Amino acid sequence: MRFPRLTRLATLAGMLRPDRSPVFARQSLGRRRRRRVAAGLGAGLALYGAIVGMPADAATRTAPDPQMTTVIPCQDVMFIGVRGSGETPESSLYGMGPESALAWQQYRMEIPGHSASAMSIDYPSTPVTTLASPYSSQDFFRSIDTGVTKLEAVLAERSVNCPTEHYVLSGKSQGAIVTHRAMADMAAHPSAYGPGLMDRIDGVLEIADPDRLPDDSGHLYGTTATGTDHYGISYAAPFMAGNRYRPTASDVDTFWDHPDRWHTICNAGDSVCDFTVSSASPSNMLRGFDIHMNSYLTDPTAVRQAASDVAAQTRSRTTAPEQTSKPALA
């Protein structure tokens, strides 16, 4: 099922200067659902802007390791994490955000005998609050586009210089948008990368993905349900499309030969990845943003299980023993 543009948000959408090209072909919703979703989105953006402006709970943050870069020698596996909106390298673990850091720690523990390292993508990760101003709203979309460009650049460099290296990609929220759109874009332009790059990606971890599609392929974790009423906020709102790199309306199995390596983690009522459920009322939306920001660390079971399943994929595909040294990147 496809959904129409949220016409009741015309004023807000105009303020955010949406891209004029069509993003999704949608069929009509009933009038009641259109009103509910549109009202929920309007209230949700306001609530989200208020909430993400609050300082993160200090209890979930520890001193970060030095940020890693592509000077890391070639590995059996490189884990690349992309942080979420408003997070900085200084405020998030390994520079990639606490949820992706948790996934990396679980993953690393389960691939003994393999050399592996982690790095983050250095991009603006602009706060969602920029969407509230007509003067800064495009900064949010440029941030996404920059993240996609930089992630692709890292993979282009490493996949050529490290022709046997495998990869795991992880992102939460805005970081999940970046990884989702980069995967679709790279699959469409495989010649720009080293030999067999898309086959060397052992797993993609999409944590609270705003670009989540209804009934998408891959594995689903967390408490959300499947079906046509369960999808991310950018699927509901055309003006969340971005500038250059737009969300795909295609199921994962239409752009990647390995949808079994796609791992979506989403909890029920999350206002970003399970939008329709949370948009029923302002109170649901408020609760939904609390779920979005906190639930994946409060109960990390889903993140750990997804990372464990990716590790199993790595173990089945790479058998080289861990080496004491590997050639550095050229």
Token pair, residue 266, equals 């989403």
Nearest to 294 by CA among 49, 38, 54: 54
- Residue 58 pLDDT grade (very low, low, confident, very high; cuts 50, 70, 90): very low
Q: Is 81 exposed, middle or buried (0-12, 13-18, 19+ CB in 10 A)?
A: buried
Token pair, residue 65, equals 């390791």
Do residues 153 and 147 touch, judged by C-beta distance below 8 A? no
Say what the pTM is: 0.77
Q: Quick: pLDDT tens for 63-80.
A: 333 333 457 999 999 999
Which of residues 186 and 22 earns the better pLDDT score? 186
Do residues 183 and 263 touch, judged by C-beta distance below 8 A? no
- Residue 322 pLDDT grade (very low, low, confident, very high; cuts 50, 70, 90): very low
Please give the backbone phi and psi of residue 226, each rounded to the nearest 5 degrees, phi first: -105, 170
